[in-house]
A = this chain, B = another copy of it.
Amino acid sequence: MSFELKILGSNSATPAYGRHHTAQLLRVKSHNFLIDCGEGTQIQLSRYKCKALRINHIFISHLHGDHYLGLMGLIFTMHLLQRKDDLFIYGQKGLQEIITTQLKYSDTSLNYKIHFHELQNDCSELLFEDKLLTVHSFPLNHRIACCGFLFKEKPKPIRLNKEKLPENISLAQIGDLKKGLDIIDDEGNVLYKNSDITLPPRKSRTYAYCSDTKYDESILPYISDADLLYHEATFLEEKAIWAEKTFHSTTTQAATIAKMAGVKHLLIGHYSARYKDLSPFLNEAKSVFENTSLATEGESTHVPE
Interface residues of A (CB under 8 A from B): 13-16, 20-21, 39-40, 42-43, 46, 63-66, 69-70, 72-73, 76-77, 80-81, 92-95, 97-98, 101-102, 104-107, 143-144
Q: Which B residue's beta carbon lies closest to that of A47?
A: B18
B98 touches A14 (CB 8 A): no
Chain B residues in 8 Å Cβ range of A104: 94
A115 to chain B, nearest CB (A): 20
B107 touches A73 (CB 8 A): no
Q: How far is the CA of A46 from the CA of B20 in the complex (A)?
A: 12
A261 to chain B, nearest CB (A): 29
Q: How far is the CA of A143 from the CA of B94 in the complex (A)?
A: 28
Q: How far is the CA of A101 from the CA of B92 in the complex (A)?
A: 14
Q: Which B residue's beta carbon lies closest to that of A65?
A: B76
Q: How far is the CA of A21 from the CA of B46 in the complex (A)?
A: 14
A72 touches B77 (CB 8 A): no
A93 to chain B, nearest CB (A): 8
A63 touches B14 (CB 8 A): no
Q: Could you list some 16 contacts between A and B, CB below 8 A?
A: A14-B80, A15-B43, A15-B46, A20-B43, A39-B39, A39-B43, A40-B40, A63-B102, A64-B106, A65-B73, A65-B76, A93-B105, A94-B101, A95-B105, A97-B101, A106-B144
A71 to chain B, nearest CB (A): 10
Chain B residues in 8 Å Cβ range of A73: 21, 39, 65-66, 69
Known contacts A66-B76, A98-B98; 17 further A-B pairs (Cβ under 8 A): A13-B77, A14-B80, A39-B42, A39-B43, A63-B105, A63-B106, A64-B106, A65-B76, A69-B69, A69-B76, A93-B105, A94-B105, A95-B105, A98-B102, A101-B101, A106-B144, A107-B143
Chain B residues in 8 Å Cβ range of A80: 13-14
Chain B residues in 8 Å Cβ range of A98: 98, 101-102, 105
B39 touches A70 (CB 8 A): yes
A252 to chain B, nearest CB (A): 25
A274 to chain B, nearest CB (A): 11
* Residue among A20, A43, A97 with max Cβ neighbours from chain B (10 Å): A43
Chain B residues in 8 Å Cβ range of A94: 101, 104-105
Q: How far is the CA of A102 from the CA of B63 in the complex (A)?
A: 8
A201 to chain B, nearest CB (A): 43
Q: Which B residue's beta carbon lies closest to that of A14?
A: B77
Q: How far is the CA of A14 from the CA of B101 in the complex (A)?
A: 21
Q: With A13-B76, A43-B40, A76-B13 in contact, is A65–B143 under 8 Å at CB? A: no
A10 to chain B, nearest CB (A): 14
A113 to chain B, nearest CB (A): 19
A14 touches B92 (CB 8 A): no
